[in-house]
Chains A and B, each alone.
Chain A
Amino acid sequence: MDIIYFLAGFGILAGIYGVFTLGLNVHWGYTGLFNIGVAGFFALGAYTAALLTTAPPSPELFEDFVFGGNLANTLQLGIDLWFFVALACAAIVSGVVALVVGAITLRLRDDYLAISTLGIAESVRLMFLNEKWLANGSRGLSDIPKFLGDFVTPKQYDLLYFAVVIIVLAALYFVIQRAINSPWGRVLRAIREDEEATAAAGKNVFRFKLQAFILGAAVMGIGGALYAHGFRYVDPMVFDPLLATFIVWVMLMVGGSGNNLGALMGAFIVWGIWSGTQFLPPEINNPNLRFFLIGFLLVLVIMLRPNGMIGERRRVSEGGT
């Protein structure tokens, strides 16, 4: 039976990574926006959810901490309803930050977006680390409330939350697919192929890029909120670039950029390798092995299937109407 709990725990994180790869796919896979600051939107989403719902830690332990949302209790709404508010607010906060960053950088050359997203991600992390009054600095926020936690035993919570993650993931997948398959998504793909030609076709390239940037960032923010309520603890170390940005890129590259199913598959495969290495026999179980394996997989996929395991699907017309 324990294997089920392990799989649920694995599935929660893989599913949350799936949310990030969906968001990154909107940015990179469909629009060609080079966002290397996934961690920033992850952190904004996670902290937004945590700050809104978590009771302040006891003052003896946490001297500097003055702001603790705990709105859930203050406003008598019940944490289970607050979960949805937290998810929505996480999306909004990430989206607003994306709006500001995008409005400044999306008119410039692509490289500026890369530089600024990397910078923003690190700034967000350092802000939460150093502004101790805001979110308790390096000690982080713990005891983030469970969603529907009263209905199950603590052990079963993972199973329940796995279902929650999958439902949210499926909903996001559906919403993004709809948008990408619409004429709106067609403009994004045209921008990815050639910005100037898209402008020559009368499209306001900046506006579409900004919309895509905000949508992808909001999705990442929701992923962050899911993380906060799943692991119930956040501190700035969670959002280090390796596990919060670059692994998401590897997942997208492996699975197939420009294909949302591929993006999800990449998340589960890469996270499977990452967390599966712990079961290797002790003789070969070296912590560096997982880095090697992930790198090896990436090289293999890029050499053998440059578009990822399932790359972008060609949109064949249905032959007349």
Chain B
Amino acid sequence: MTSSQIDNNPIRQSTGGQTADSQPILEVRDLVKDFGGVRAVDHCSLDVMPGTITGLIGPNGAGKTTLFNLISGFHKLTAGTITFLGKRIDGMEAHETFHAGLVRTFQIPREFKYMTVLENLMLVPANQEGERIWASWFTPWRIAPQERAIERQALETLEFLNLDHLKDEYAANLSGGQKKLLELGRTLMAKPKMILLDEPSAGVSPALTDLLMEDIRRTQEETGITILIIEHNMRVVMSLCDPVIVLSEGRKLMEGTPEEVQRDEEVLRAYLGFSGEASAAAGENTAHETAPNEAEFGETKAGA
């Protein structure tokens, strides 16, 4: 790959073309994952359509993060298939799913602590000539132009995320919310076809959550990328995601618009552990929660 092939716009991205809109970009079929005697994912099947911001919700232990780990190749699956852009990706290792066009973030930010913010981003682009061990000794002239292009892309991404003033800071010194933005920035650097975001708003203040949501929405709108989000914060899910997929006990419980999901009895039962009138009342409450306080559907209410 030559430097000219590196696209300097951090947010321009072609996703369309490969799949017709009626074809899911990601198909999960009959996925099973056992950890010893515990079945974390139980014959789970779901589709994600291209160009959507799809929410993935469910009570703790529903298997959301495990599903992410399976899709992104961090865990080996027990049974089932995962197809991405028409290609089987189950059995791929984590770095291979990246090259297939699928990039993930982690629930707890995993920044490279003692590397600068800029380096955190510059690491990401694929096919870097300088990543060959001998390149710096024998072909240094091939590294420099590519590095300049990557640095430019990284600076633009930092500007997009309003982190550019921190570019030379160690990532370890960032606040929790800034680390979340940095994670998002790393996924953007990859120019992926699809991003898996694991609880982007967890541990982030309401104000920064708004900013993060705005960044996610802008990313989607400007790039046409597909985004799958695990999220407990119902405010985020309601305003950002459509459709929403509900997982419970390792399988898909339902899928629908945020409104449909919030009204659904079975969803409430899965979350709250009771049904009938009480759940209807709870549903009302949640649905009417328009104030910007954090209505943590899964966490606070399920714990009640």
Interface residues of A (CB under 8 A from B): 175, 178-179, 181-187, 189-190, 193-194, 196-205, 211, 215, 258, 312, 314-317, 320-321
Contact = CB atoms under 8 A, between A and B. Distances in A.
Contacts of A181: 136
Contacts of B130: 182-184
B168 A196 contact: no
Contacts of A187: 123, 131
Contact of A196 (B74, B98, B151): B74
A183 B151 contact: no
Nearest to B183: A197
B114 interface: yes
A183 B143 contact: yes
Contacts of A178: 136-137, 140
B93 A184 contact: no
Interface of B: 72, 74, 93-95, 98-99, 103-106, 110-116, 118-119, 122-124, 126, 128-133, 135-137, 140, 143, 147-148, 151-152, 155, 167-168, 170, 186, 190
A207 to B, nearest CB: 9
Top 6 A-B pairs, shortest CB-CB distance: A202-B98, A183-B130, A182-B136, A197-B110, A193-B112, A199-B94
B95 A205 contact: yes
Most chain-A CB neighbours within 10 Å: which of B131, B135, B137, B148? B131
A320 B155 contact: yes
Contact of B106 (A182, A189, A200, A211): A200
Nearest to B124: A201
A314 B168 contact: yes
Contacts of B115: 186, 189-190, 193, 315
A181 B136 CA distance: 8
A184 B123 CA distance: 9
5 contacts: A179-B136, A182-B135, A183-B128, A193-B111, A205-B95
Given A215-B133, A314-B168, A321-B148, A200 B98 contact: yes
Nearest to B73: A199
A182 B170 CA distance: 19
A204 B137 CA distance: 21
A181 B93 CA distance: 27
Contacts of A200: 72, 74, 94, 98, 103-106, 110
Given A183-B143, A184-B135, A186-B115, 16 more contacts: A179-B136, A182-B140, A184-B131, A184-B133, A186-B119, A193-B111, A193-B114, A194-B111, A200-B94, A200-B104, A200-B106, A201-B98, A203-B131, A204-B95, A211-B133, A312-B114
A205 B106 CA distance: 18
A314 B171 CA distance: 11
B114 A196 contact: no
A194 B119 CA distance: 14
A201 B106 contact: no
A173 to B, nearest CB: 13
Given A182-B143, A186-B123, A193-B115, A202 B133 contact: no
B298 to A, nearest CB: 24
A184 B136 contact: yes
Contacts of A215: 133
B117 to A, nearest CB: 10
Contacts of B113: 193-194
A197 B168 CA distance: 20
A201 B118 CA distance: 14
B74 A201 contact: no
B148 A314 contact: no
A25 to B, nearest CB: 15
A258 B135 CA distance: 21
Given A182-B130, A316-B116, A201 B136 contact: no
A312 B114 CA distance: 9
A145 to B, nearest CB: 30
Nearest to B105: A200
B5 to A, nearest CB: 16
A187 B72 CA distance: 20
A203 B137 CA distance: 21
B133 A179 contact: yes
Contacts of A317: 116, 118, 151, 167-168
B168 A183 contact: no
A174 to B, nearest CB: 10
A200 B95 CA distance: 6
A178 B140 CA distance: 9
A223 to B, nearest CB: 20
Contacts of A316: 116, 168
